[in-house]
Amino acid sequence: MQRRGIRTLRIVSILKKVGLLAALGAVGYGGYLYYLSSRPALPEVGADWVAQQYLLCLQTKDYQDAYLLASESAQGQTNPGMMAETCKEVYSAIDGWQFGVPKYAFTHASASVPVTLRYRPAWSPQDTSSMDGAMDFKLENGEWRLVVAVPFATAIMKQRDEQHFAGKRQQ
């Protein structure tokens, strides 16, 4: 008789634990659904489309329109004139680009577009260079905006300086 009572207590204990886990799972699933419904909707155009527009603007030297594709925080760090000067210091010409598959954050708050950029450097316009990198975007007011106003510029200038100083060291 005692064994039956112990078994019943064990079964009741197990059922309570299973019920608690099921309730926690239901609450978690409900929270997950709420989270999904509260994410912002993705814009009609993807971050790769904005990246394409941005690079077209740089290629045609339309720095004002390129500047408008940057996020508010990126625009706060520069102005169209400074952006134009930086671009002129870096690029003699942008010859083309190739995009990889864009990566969107689960939260829809950010995206990254892998890019291979082909350009002619301002300090050596007869040479063609390329750089692999990514253009990072954030969702701002329902549109994708560049996180950095002039992506690649810092890395390209670093390459320039390394080449310049490497040439001086070899002499």
pLDDT in tens, 26-62: 888 877 766 656 656 666 789 999 999 999 999 999 9
Contacts 24+ apart (CB under 8 A), 67-70: 67/149, 69/145, 69/146, 70/145, 70/146, 70/148, 70/149
- Per-residue burial over 42-52, b if 16 or more Cβ lie within 10 Å, else e, is eeeebbbebbb
pTM for the full predicted model: 0.72
d(CA 160, CA 152): 12
What is d(CA 154, CA 112) in angstroms, rounded to the nearest whole number? 18
Residues 94-146 have pLDDT tens digits of 999 999 999 998 888 999 999 999 999 999 999 999 999 999 999 998 999 99
**pLDDT band, very low/low/confident/very high, at 25 (cuts 50, 70, 90):** confident
Q: What's the confidence (pLDDT) of residue 20? A: 83
Q: How high is the pLDDT of residue 80?
A: 94
CA 26 to CA 24: how far, in whole Å? 5
Residue 110 has a CB neighbour count (10 Å cut-off) of: 16
- 75: pLDDT strictly greater than 70: yes
Most confident option among 5-14, 23-32, 70-79, 153-162? 70-79
pLDDT of residue 166: 64
139-155 average pLDDT score: 93
pLDDT of 65 strictly over 90: yes
